[in-house]
Amino acid sequence: MAMRIAIVGCGLIGHKRARALGPHALVAVADADPARAQKLAALHPGCEAVSSWQGVVGRSDVDVVVVATTNNALAEVTNAAVLARKHVLVEKPAARNASELAPILTNARRTGVTVKVGFNHRFHPAFARARALVDAGAVGPLLHIRARYGHGGRVGYDKEWRADPAIAGGGELLDQGVHLIDLSRWFLGDITEVRGHVGTFFWKMLVEDNGFLFLRTAAGQVAWLQASCTEWKNLFSFEIFGRGGKLQIDGLGGSYGVERLSYYKMLPQMGPPETTIWEFPGEDHSWRDEFDHFIRCIEQGTPPSGNLEDALAALEVVGEVYRQADAPAVHWETGQPRRRAV
């Protein structure tokens, strides 16, 4: 069934979402900058650029709202769309904190709409195959996860909206870190113990540029995670350790390098493992595959993979680390501890 889509937020991610709609019609877009809305609408015949997001979410000719705004508007727009009984795909982290997100979960359950959170990493082919291998028992019971995700920013990064705590709600832990938290939960299950540290080591901003996490499940499985924007060569590495082997995902395409899944199967005599490697070059189809999954969930009435409950759990982990830390490790200029501003 073809859906009628509206997009709120016409920046880089809004354009990526628009390109991933497949056979579904983009009928309306809105952005705080009208010129950006006009630019996106012009790429899609029949699409209307609307002056405000409020004029989009209540339209009778809209079935699905994609929310791709800055973090400070994610929850407000999503909640309004849910109350208007629209299905919603909202970009991660879905809100600046768990308290902003919780009412949306309540309202979505009451209205019966489907809400998907943009955890597109679950839909990268390396992760899809890794999940299938884990589910098939290829590495045995899972023991622990070790993961790193980072980029090096760019000139002026500390002047962008992600460096403003009022808009972003947090720094690198909230930005790329939620992907690592979500993926760890996807493989290991619910987190029952959280320890962490955040620091602003390099960038001249009031949010952290590095987050370090120790997570543990009720079964004793552990995840060691780091999210960084002082990673001078873009990096993605996610290792899943089981009793019978290991899975390692490296790269996400583009500046992160060719996406690759390595499967190290332990042999009875141990020693060097049997190794199988898959590479996934070319275009990133995770956005398309995630949207297709979202539409199937709407049609079938099934919960999406990467839903509001998953986002709430990830935000609770981030919030706990922020509460524990209270201050970044060092100030970028003085090298002394300082209080957090988020």
Q: How far apart are CA 206 and CA 277, in angstroms?
A: 41
**Crossing angle of helices 98-111 and 71-83, rounded to 10°:** 20
- The strands making up 4-8's β-sheet, listed across from edge to edge, are 48-50, 25-30, 4-8, 64-67, 87-91, 115-118
Helices (H), 65-176: 71-83, 98-111, 125-135, 165-168, 172-175
| Active-site hit among 16, 39, 92, 159 | 92
Q: Residue 315: how many CB atoms within 10 A of its CB?
A: 26
Helices (H), 112-171: 125-135, 165-168
Q: Does the CA dihedral 294-187-207-325 come out positive or negative?
A: positive
Question: Would residue 92 show up in a list of annotated catalytic residues for this protein?
Answer: yes
**Crossing angle of helices 286-300 and 12-19, rounded to 10°:** 60
Among 225, 96, 244, CA closest to 161: 96
Q: How many residues does the chain have?
A: 342
Q: Does the CA dihedral 89-90-94-95 come out positive or negative?
A: negative
Among 169, 203, 208, 199, CA closest to 314: 169
For the range 243-247, what are the long-range contacts, defined as Cβ-Cβ under 8 Å and sequence gap of 24 or more?
Answer: 243/139, 243/140, 243/141, 243/143, 244/137, 244/138, 244/139, 244/140, 245/138, 245/139, 245/140, 245/273, 246/139, 246/273, 247/130, 247/133, 247/134, 247/138, 247/139
- By DSSP bridging, strand 245-250 and strand 259-265 are antiparallel
| Residues marked as catalytic | 92
